[in-house]
Structure formats: C-alpha cells, structure tokens
Structure 1
Amino acid sequence: MEHLDTRDLLKLYEWMLLSRITEERMTDYHKHTPLPELPHAGIGQEAIAAGTVLDLRIDDQILPSLRTRGAFIFKGISSRTMMAGAFAKVTGAARGKNTSHHMGDPKVGVVAGSGVVAAHLPIAVGVALAAKLQKKDYVAVAYFGDGGSNRGDVHESMNMAAVMKLGVVFVCENNGYSISTPLDVHCAVRDIAVRAQGYGMPGVVVDGNDVLAVLAAAREAYARARAGEGPTLIECKTYRWLGHSERDPRDLRPAEEIAAWREKCPIKRLRDHLLSNGLADEATLDDIRAGVAAEVDDAIVFAEQSPLPPPEEAALHVYAEPRTDR
C-alpha cells in the first residue's frame, strides 16, 4: 500500500474512536434511560467503516448496514444529527421517522436504508446504474453482514452489477454470527468472498480489524469501479464485541472467544502502529480521545434538548410530492 499521510492516519484513529464512543454512550444510555432506538452496536468493527470511507468523494454514495454506524458520521452526517436520530428527534436526518441505523442524507451521499436485511443492495445497483447512464464515475458502496450474504437480494444484485459492469463495491462485514447463529452453521463456505467468482468479479478477503488493510482493498476496488471495470466484493473478517442488540443482554457466544477478539481491537492496533512508528505520541492520541468524547457529550445534550416531531408531520413525506415540471 502506498504511503499514507500522518494526517490521514490520525483521521482514521479519530474516526474509529468517534464511532466507538458514540456507540458506547448510546448503549449505556439505553440501559439507564428509555431511548427510542434499539442499539445494534458495531463495537469492534470500526475499522471497516473508516477504511472504506476515507477515500470516498462527496458524490460517492454509501448504503450502510445495521452495524456500519461509523460510515454515516465519516461520510458527513454530524454527531449531533446522528444522536438526534437515535433519540427520534426532529433534528435527526429522518426528522424522527426512522432510526439512525437507516437514515440517509443525499447532501453527503448517504442513501436511506431499509430495516429488511440486505434489501438495500438492489438499491445500490440502481445507484450505480444511474451513474453509468449519467456517464459519471461516482461509486456506490453497499455494506451487509454474513447473515445477509445468504439472501437472494445479495446474489441478484451481484449478478446484475457484474453483467452490466456497474461501479458497486460490496462490503461484507463478516463478524462470524447471524444474530446468534455461527457462520459455519448457515454458510457452507469458509470465505464469503469466493462467491464473487460465480459472478465474474474479484472477491477479496481482508482482516477487518486492520484499518490499513481495509483501506488498501477499498482503494483498489474504487479504482476499478471508476475505470468502468465493474464491481468488487470485499469480505472483512471481524467480530462484534456486544450481543446482537441491547434488547436481550444474553449472549450465547463463548466467553473466551469474545475475550480473544477484544485483544484484536482495531483502535488499539492503529494506536500501537502510530506510537511504534513515531507518528504520534501518547499526549496527541489522548487529546484526540478527549476531543471525541467532548463531541459525543455535546451530541447527547443536543439530542436531549431537541424537540420531538409535531404529530402533524406523521403524514408528510409518505409519498413523493407531485412534479409540475413535466
């Protein structure tokens, strides 16, 4: 991988911390105070969003999955807007009509998602088709989990994207479990990336806890997409530290397995890289953490003080407004 500017490395570190602390505060808040959104935390998976978003342009479009919360913030949705979405406040991107997991903002290239697993991948194909018809080179990045990889939406999307050589990058966040079902129970292949061969596209496996490995794979995939060479499937092997959601605190996974993956923390790995290579000192990294914590604190205060949407808004934006320019 080509040399990365130290500023980019520090940005990746800051981004991953921002995602981690945001979700830690959300899950903690949910335990003590009613929070409209049920958190499905991606703690432990932060390197995937950071590594895949760093090189994106403002016109590139992302379609996050349930645990890709960091990608929203990294692409341009503010921490305040993100937190207001979790609190179902009118200041959220969806004005209280959708959770922060599935909200969108066309101004920064975030396409609104769906609560149906992997149902956003066909939309990603449509986004990439639009780019081709417009003769533009923006890419669509669609995230999904190992459980979602078995759905028909995924395979139909990959097939169409490959046949039409569309600029879609499919990012599988393989954390080893579909809710509580291990990968080897619901999937007959060890690497989901091998399925790409059946559609005539590259499929690569990367360490999803190594943000630099994720970034390198994303750069190559984006270059292919922009050059009109078609889609790529990137499988990022990672692990979520918490359970499927905060609704049920029980976790059927082996305790020793969780502990082993916690030792592979993506944030710690990048921090060690920065320190061991003399790219930053402890004081600098501690200052970044303090700044991120202050940003999240501010976002929570903003969300708490923001109003709920007025009842009369419930019927607005259900259907598209009539167009008069045709």
Structure 2
Amino acid sequence: MAKAASSKRGGAKGDATAAAPEAPNRATNRERPAEPRRREADRAELLEYYRQMLLIRRFEERAGQLYGLGLIGGFCHLYIGQEAVAVGLQSALDTSKDSVITGYRDHGHMLAYGIDPKVIMAELTGRQAGISKGKGGSMHMFSVEHKFYGGHGIVGAQVSLGTGLAFKHKYSDDGGVCLAYFGDGAANQGQVYESFNMAQLWGLPIIYVIENNQYAMGTSVNRASAEDQLYKRGESFRIPGLQVDGMDVLAVRGAADAALEWVRGGKGPILLELKTYRYRGHSMSDPAKYRSREEVQAVREQSDPIEAVKRELEKAGASEDELKAIDRQIKEIVAESADFAEQSPEPDPAELHTDVLVESY
C-alpha cells in the first residue's frame, strides 16, 4: 500500500515535517461512575423539595387554565408529573458557574432554578414584563443572569448548543458544568450524536439529561426507538450512562451528585436517563388518545413525585396542617403571578426591532 506523503512546512528549507498530535489512548478508558445512592435528606431539605415541586405543579395547572381562557397563545407544554427531575437535578448545581439549557417544556426548569414566577407567567402571556419581554412565550424563555440558556423549540437543537456551553466552560476554565436536557423523542436526532462525539473527544464538562416521559409527542418510546434503554445511547462514544427513577426526587438528587462528581473530576461527559411521566398531553392541543386514562391514573396513584415526598415528610414528623399551609402559600404565589401577568401591558410594537443582533455590524 502506498505511503501517504507527509506535508512539509518552512518554505525553501521545508525539511521539517509537521508532527501530528498524539491521539489519547481511549481503549483503556472504560471506567464507570459508581452507582448513585438515593439522597438521604433531612426534614428541612425535604420541605424545600416539596415546596419547589408543588410550586411547579400549581403554576402549570394555572398556566393550563390561562391557556384555556385564551391568555396564553401558541404552544404550551406543561411539566406536570415531571417535577422531580428539574428539582432534583437543579438543586445540586452551583448557580454561580453552572449553566442549563433545555427544550420547549421549560417552565418547570425556570421555577426550579429560582426565577421569579411573575416574570415567567408574564412571558407566557406575552407581556412586556416577561423574562424575554414577551417575545419568547412558552417555548423560548432565556435568562443570561441565571445562566439559563433556553427554552428551544427545535427538537434536539439544545443538545448541540449545550455542548457549546460546555466547551465555553472548559475553554475559560471557569469550573462550570452544563446541564443539557432533552427528551426521549429528541434522543433519536442526528445532532445529538454529533454532540456526543465532540464532547467525549474534547472531554467537555457536560451532563446530558434525557427526560424519558415515555411518549415523545405521541408515540411510545418502545415503538420509536430500536434501543429503548436510552441511558446506553452514549456507549459507542464511551460516554457512561445511568438510568434513574425520575419520579423520586431523592433518587434524582443522588444521581445528580454522582454525575457532578464524575464531570467535575475531569472525566468528561456523562448521560443520565430519567424515567419519568407526563400527566397531560404533549402540549395543550394534544388530546393524548395514544394512552388510556387508566394508565395515567395508575401512575398518579403509584408514583406521583409530590405524594412520594409528602410521605417522606410525614415519616419525618411533618403535620398535615404544616403541609396544607405550604400549599396555601404556593397557591397565593401562583395567583399573584397570574394577576401580575394579566395586569402587565403588552410590548410596545417598537420592541419588534430590538434584540435582533447583539450589536450592529
């Protein structure tokens, strides 16, 4: 077989052959993260998880009502049933340096990240006071201040963008990790695997989170995916994966701790598959006829993430009156956010011409 000619550099004296960088030996890189342990939480921590998940549940219920009244336009994807994923993972982040990016089912993530419910609801209703000035709506919220980079309507697009955020963390050596969420439907998109390849080649600090709510838009993951054990999807790129009970906030938090230890230890990307379930349709316009009411009710009764934490709290000595008081407080916060949104003005038409470019060229 003919030998490839080596490229010469150095002009007329071009006798120095450019040496290619030595490729790392990945053949021995088969280390696996330890199996995560379910978080042992004290009463105060359990109360905080309960409060955050209940806030997401009540907020999303109210958003569904406002959509029915015509106050929220376009698409609206509710997070009801999946609350343990966002709360369990984001409670482990360092908000001073870590970044987050997700798809269009994003309201719950923003609430778990501590963003004011008023500006989220105002964004849903397209008001000037919204976190994206009413321009993003349900699917395209964004907050550089909170290192929350969307809210993306293109299925799977956030995975490549999240890989870019992780590259930024490594390039600037800021110690940050990117958490990139996507769903079981997006797990079949081509750009996801291009991103996996680059992330592993460059050893990027990123946690890929597959929120497997079983149905993508309306097709069961078992019918749509040849490999339906989605935590294995990174194996051909030597990215380890863990499968987690996404209906148990303590299991999710334990997995978050294990994943962050792996990534912050300089071992490159990791993939988490969170087995969860959405109670509502894919969006508010989805009648969800691809599954039975009995199936949804069975999950609610057996695996509801909020009821699970409530039981843990009762074991820890929390009284029924204490938990009811939290529910009343959350309902007041949500009512205030809805009132704020309804009373806020719509954007000035001149806003159409702002935020088009970062600067003029």
Q: RMSD across aligned C-alpha pairs, in angstroms? A: 1.5
Partner of 1:277 in structure 2? 316
Give the secondary structure class of the aligned counterpart of 1:144.
strand
Give the secondary structure class of the aligned counterpart of 1:122.
helix
Aligned length: 322
Give the secondary structure class of the aligned counterpart of 1:107.
coil
Partner of 2:104 in structure 1? 66
1:103 aligns with 2:141: yes
Partner of 1:266 in structure 2? 305
Give the secondary structure class of the aligned counterpart of 2:157.
coil
Shift of 1:37: 4.5
CA distance in structure 2 between the partners assigned to 1:64 and 1:114 by the alignment: 7
CA distance in structure 2 between the partners assigned to 1:191 and 1:144 by the alignment: 15
Q: TM-score scaled by structure 1? A: 0.95
CA distance in structure 1 between the partners assigned to 2:140 and 2:262 by the alignment: 28
Q: Is the 8 A contact 2:103 2:153 kept in 1?
A: no
Q: Is the 8 A contact 2:75 2:138 kept in 1?
A: no
Shift of 1:204: 0.5
Give the secondary structure class of the aligned counterpart of 1:298.
helix
Question: Greater helix share, 1 or 2?
Answer: 1
Partner of 1:142 in structure 2? 180
Partner of 2:357 in structure 1? 319
Partner of 2:235 in structure 1? 197
Residue 246 of structure 1 aligns to which amino acid in structure 2? M
Shift of 1:226: 1.6
CA distance in structure 2 between the partners assigned to 1:112 and 1:239 by the alignment: 22
Partner of 2:90 in structure 1? 53
Q: Is the 8 A contact 1:37 1:86 kept in 2?
A: no
1:31 aligns with 2:88: no
Residue 25 of structure 1 aligns to which amino acid in structure 2? R
Partner of 2:122 in structure 1? 84
Give the secondary structure class of the aligned counterpart of 1:317.
coil
Shift of 1:38: 2.7
Report which of the two structures shows the higher radius of gyration computed on alpha carbons: 2
Partner of 1:9 in structure 2? 46
1:176 aligns with 2:211: no
CA distance in structure 1 between the partners assigned to 2:138 and 2:106 by the alignment: 11
Could you tell me which of 22, 26, 32 is aligned with 2:59?
A: 22
Partner of 1:225 in structure 2? 263
CA distance in structure 1 between the partners assigned to 2:341 and 2:74 by the alignment: 13
CA distance in structure 1 between the partners assigned to 2:107 and 2:194 by the alignment: 25
Partner of 2:7 in structure 1? none
Shift of 1:196: 1.8
Gaps of 5+ in 2: 1-36
Residue 68 of structure 2 aligns to which amino acid in structure 1? K
Residue 16 of structure 1 aligns to which amino acid in structure 2? M
Percent of paired sites with the same residue:
37
Residue 286 of structure 1 aligns to which amino acid in structure 2? K
CA distance in structure 1 between the partners assigned to 2:106 and 2:136 by the alignment: 16
1:125 aligns with 2:125: no
